[in-house]
Amino acid sequence: MDRKSCVFCTEIVANRNAAIIYEDDLTMAFMDNAPVEQGHVLVIPKSHYSNILDIPDDIYSAVHLVAKKLAPAILLAMNADALNIGQNNGRCANQRVMHYHLHVIPRKCGRQIEWMRKILTTGELDEASQNIRKMFDDRVDISKIKIV
């Protein structure tokens, strides 16, 4: 798969067809439009890399640092107790879009994820992204956040 047939390259990076939370020269973060939990965010490199084998170290680091930067805002905005951060490599590992991406999934204590994709409206995705962006812009004091 190359850039021309990649939905993240064509729809997200080129057309910005997503509820975008964060963007810099190398990365973008946006709401997963088929989340396993409300507030499910994806972080991607703007350049096309398929998986852990072809992503350069500096881009890999940039993507993962964005997840670290956004984590406090996601926890607060989604009123979450914890986070899953994960990444799939290959079709047999449930990678659906062959463009490197990192999942950041807010979790609530006692609520099991069924790993089924939910269908949310554009309004629901926009609301979550606005709440997370606001928390991120407010530069929250992470010493006040507790992960359970």
User: Interface with Zn ion by CB under 5 A: which residues?
Assistant: 6, 8-9, 48, 99
- Closer of 28 and 73 to Zn ion (Cβ): 28
- Minimum gap (Å) between residue 19 Cβ and Zn ion: 18
Q: What is the nearest approach in angstroms of Zn ion to the Cβ of residue 13? A: 7
Helix pair 122-137, 57-77: axis angle to 10 deg: 100
Taking the least distance from each CB to Zn ion, the nearer of 9 and 66 is 9
Helix (H, G, I), strand (E, B) or coil at 41: strand
Q: Rounded to the nearest whole angstrom, what is the least distance from the CB of residue 3 to Zn ion in the complex?
A: 5
Nearest-CA neighbor of 129 among 58, 47, 29? 29
CB atoms within 10 A of CB 99: 22
Task: Give whichever of 47 and 124 is closer to Zn ion, judged by the CB atom.
Answer: 47
Minimum distance from CB of 25 to Zn ion (Å)? 17
Nearest-CB residue for Zn ion: 6
| Shorter beta-carbon distance to Zn ion: residue 3 or 134 | 3
Is there a contact between 82 and 1 (Cβ–Cβ < 8 Å)? no
Residue 100 — left, alpha, or beta (φ > 0 → left; ψ -120 to 50 → alpha)?
A: beta
